[in-house]
């Protein structure tokens, strides 16, 4: 990687340590104490280094330190008009030699290209090499199809996994499917009573949508019963529990737990429908997993560990027979781990599953991609695992993300107001297809429906990854599909524009040598500097588990390329050597766009 910031940090570090040595002190500084900033306007230079942190150690004011370092560096580096070191108050500003730096950046960039394909390792900083990282995400229930909330979880988990892998970690993606419990029995009961042996095929419905239909049906029937009970004087809080539909669902759950063959057969059939449909949505959106776990197979895990903890005095038994843990020392509260009847709860299952996973695949880090409403749950989970003596528990991380809603308001599964993932993508695809037809591009793009689908996924995934994960967000379908501004289709259009230009360039014979030092105009220079930042954007996104570092980088790169494209003639440039080197710069931008698009789950389009 070519890190011009690091290069200048090293030079400044060396100069400061020389001054300290001359003053007869044993003190030294290192690069971590130096901050590099981008000056507010181009005339001030390419980099700015504030001197405030050195005031105490050098016993001088920041402006004075900046002046001393400027004189020393200008002299030792033989700086001239091409490369300047100037003082602006407490800042040491660096103006780099454009010709030399452009040559270094581009030669470094193309040295990472492995062969005639687009494969290259420029955006793979190697910061996680040798680490084994497990990422758990999605975690759907088998009583309904994936919805908009799942889409944010899925693309966040997939993108983070790809980014970590780009930093050369070994990554394993896992999905635990919540396929048991009262919520599953609700859809089963409604189907049993009203389904009349219909199937997804007979109803012409995608199989997970078919199952979700019965969950909504149960909820509507339950609501009717509860309203009647309330009219007859039952408290609102108790009405649902007293409703016959709920009692039947609970009885069905007890039958499932007892191994009732008829209930189990219905459960298998409906789960198969739900999972089959979900997997189609995963494939459609580019989401994949190395392993699926099922709660029906893991819910007994953890019970033995609780009993071991009880023997060791880590946990205690209450008067009613339940096993609990006191977490008041950790500023939390008491937590039940086993009910009085000996059955486990979610937290017990989760640490049992974590222990089982580490035995199977000894990860260095396990990342849970789960909504922010579960923050307390994961605090308790991680503390319990540490109390049980598992050293690796300190390497567990909850990647918390905010709610995603639509302009119409909050989504509710049981009321049928949730936006199904497939329906949303269909809607985005149809909107994109209308745009293609309106612009008369059907013949130019090949398969309009396929291109529209990729535009829809690019719009959706970019919009969902653009904000910091912790923030709640409002998904606006129309805004996401805009071909101008900070959107996925805008980025895809930049990729298609460069692809088109490179195709045309092959028709133009240009045998001039490549001279990267010709890239010195302002648009070229700004584009080069952004291009050089790509490995660090990947590294930062991996370190913070935040793909928005990459989406932000992509937008800045695309904006910068747009300016370069409009201000610097490329194919029409009369200077053949300059035309060729600008084509090479455009090619480099396209390679980075392709690579980064993959990391944030945006399909690259050569024609749009």
The pLDDT score that the predictor gives to residue 443 is 84
Average pLDDT over residues 209-237: 94
Between 343-347, 431-435, 505-509, the lowest mean confidence (pLDDT) is in 505-509
Closest CA to 530 of 464, 598, 599, 593: 593
Taking 60 as the threshold, does the pLDDT of residue 160 lie above it? yes
Give the tens place of pLDDT for each residue, 451-460: 999 999 999 9
Taking 80 as the threshold, does the pLDDT of residue 117 lie above it? no
**Measured between alpha carbons, how far is 55 from 550 in angstroms, rounded to an integer?**
35
**Measured between alpha carbons, how far is 337 from 347 in angstroms, rounded to an integer?**
7
Give the tens place of pLDDT for each residue, 518-574: 999 999 999 999 999 999 999 999 999 999 999 999 999 999 999 999 999 999 999
Give the tens place of pLDDT for each residue, 41-54: 888 889 999 999 99
The pLDDT score that the predictor gives to residue 80 is 66
> What average pLDDT is seen over the chain?
92
| Three-class DSSP category at 334 | strand
**Measured between alpha carbons, how far is 470 from 147 in angstroms, rounded to an integer?**
19
Taking 70 as the threshold, does the pLDDT of residue 428 lie above it? yes
* 406 vs 450, higher pLDDT: 450
pLDDT grade, residue 113 (50/70/90)? Answer: low
* 116 vs 77, higher pLDDT: 77
The pLDDT score that the predictor gives to residue 115 is 41
The pLDDT score that the predictor gives to residue 413 is 44
The pLDDT score that the predictor gives to residue 411 is 42
375 to 76, 338, 379, 398, 399: CA distances (angstroms): 54, 21, 6, 7, 9
Between 163-167, 441-445, 600-604, the lowest mean confidence (pLDDT) is in 441-445
Query: What tokens appear for 433 in the block?
Result: 């297809």
Q: What is the DSSP string of 241-267?
A: HHSHHHHHHHHHHHHHHTT-HHHHHHH
Closest CA to 535 of 4, 124, 118: 124
Closest CA to 562 of 500, 495, 607: 495
The pLDDT score that the predictor gives to residue 166 is 95
Give the tens place of pLDDT for each residue, 23-36: 888 889 998 899 99
**Measured between alpha carbons, how far is 444 from 327 in angstroms, rounded to an integer?**
64
Residues 6+ apart with CB under 8 A from 229: 239, 242, 243
384 to 18, 76, 393: CA distances (angstroms): 51, 58, 9
In sequence order, what E strands does 169-322 have?
Answer: 170-177, 291-294, 316-317
Between 146-160, 304-318, 501-515, the lowest mean confidence (pLDDT) is in 501-515
**Measured between alpha carbons, how far is 189 from 191 in angstroms, rounded to an integer?**
5
Closest CA to 461 of 160, 200, 228, 195: 160
Query: What tokens appear for 374 in the block?
Result: 């579960």
CB 382 within 8 A of CB 376: no
């Amino acid at each position: 990687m070519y890190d011009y910031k690091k290069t200048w940090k090293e030079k400044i570090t060396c100069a400061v340590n020389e001054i300290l040595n001359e003053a007869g002190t044993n003190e030294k500084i290192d690069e971590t104490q130096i901050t590099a900033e981008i000056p507010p306007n181009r005339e001030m230079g390419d980099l700015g280094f504030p001197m405030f942190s050195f005031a105490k150690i050098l016993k001088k004011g920041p402006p004075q330190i900046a002046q001393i370092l400027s004189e020393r560096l200008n002299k030792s580096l033989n700086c001239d008009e091409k490369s300047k070191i100037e003082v602006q108050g407490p800042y040491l500003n660096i103006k780099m030699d454009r010709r030399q730096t452009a040559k270094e950046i581009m030669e470094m960039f193309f040295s990472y290209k492995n062969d005639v394909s687009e494969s290259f390792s420029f955006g793979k900083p190697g910061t996680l090499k040798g680490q084994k990282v497990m990422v758990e995400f999605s975690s759907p229930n088998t009583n309904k199809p994936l919805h908009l909330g799942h889409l944010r979880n899925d693309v966040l988990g997939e993108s983070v996994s790809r980014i970590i892998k780009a930093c050369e970690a070994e990554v394993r993606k896992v999905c635990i499917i919540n396929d048991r419990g009262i919520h599953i029995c609700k859809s089963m009961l409604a189907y049993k009573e009203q389904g009349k042996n219909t199937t997804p095929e007979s109803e012409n419905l995608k199989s997970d949508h078919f199952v979700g239909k019965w969950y909504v049906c149960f909820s509507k029937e339950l609501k009717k019963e509860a309203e009647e009970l309330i009219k007859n004087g039952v408290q609102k809080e108790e009405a649902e529990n007293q409703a016959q539909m709920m009692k039947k669902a609970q009885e069905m759950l007890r039958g499932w737990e007892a191994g009732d063959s008829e209930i189990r057969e219905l459960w298998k059939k409906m789960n198969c429908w739900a999972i089959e449909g979900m997997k189609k949505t995963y494939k459609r959106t580019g989401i994949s997993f190395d392993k699926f776990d099922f709660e029906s197979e893991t819910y007994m895990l953890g019970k033995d560990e609780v009993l071991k903890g009880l023997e060791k005095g880590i946990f205690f038994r209450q008067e009613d027979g339940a096993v609990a843990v006191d977490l008041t020392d950790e500023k939390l509260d008491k937590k039940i781990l086993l009910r009085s009847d000996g059955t486990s709860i979610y937290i017990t299952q989760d640490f049992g599953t974590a222990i089982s996973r580490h035995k199977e695949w000894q990860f260095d880090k396990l990342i849970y991609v789960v909504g922010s409403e579960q923050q307390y749950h994961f605090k308790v989970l991680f503390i319990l695992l540490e109390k049980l003596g598992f050293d690796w528990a300190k390497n567990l991380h909850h990647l918390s993300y905010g709610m995603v809603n639509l302009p119409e308001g909050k989504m509710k599964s049981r009321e049928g107001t949730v936006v199904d993932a497939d329906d949303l993508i269909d809607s985005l695809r149809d909107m994109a297809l209308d745009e293609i037809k309106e612009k008369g591009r059907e013949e130019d793009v090949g398969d309009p429906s396929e291109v529209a689908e990729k535009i829809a996924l690019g719009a959706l995934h970019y919009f969902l990854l653009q904000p910091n994960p912790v923030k709640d967000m409002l998904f606006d379908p129309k805004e996401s599909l805009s071909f101008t501004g900070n959107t996925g289709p805008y980025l895809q259009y930049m990729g298609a524009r460069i692809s088109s230009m490179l195709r045309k360039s092959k028709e133009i014979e240009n045998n001039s040598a490549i001279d990267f030092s010709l890239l010195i105009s302002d648009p070229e220079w700004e584009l080069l500097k952004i291009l050089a930042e790509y490995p660090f954007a990947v590294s930062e996104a991996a370190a913070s588990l935040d793909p928005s570092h990459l989406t932000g980088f992509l937008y800045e790169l695309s904006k910068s390329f747009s300016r370069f494209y409009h201000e610097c003639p490329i194919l029409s440039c009369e200077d053949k050597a300059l035309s060729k080197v600008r084509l090479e710069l455009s090619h480099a931008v396209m390679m980075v766009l392709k690579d980064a698009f993959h990391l944030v789950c945006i399909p690259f389009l050569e024609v749009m």
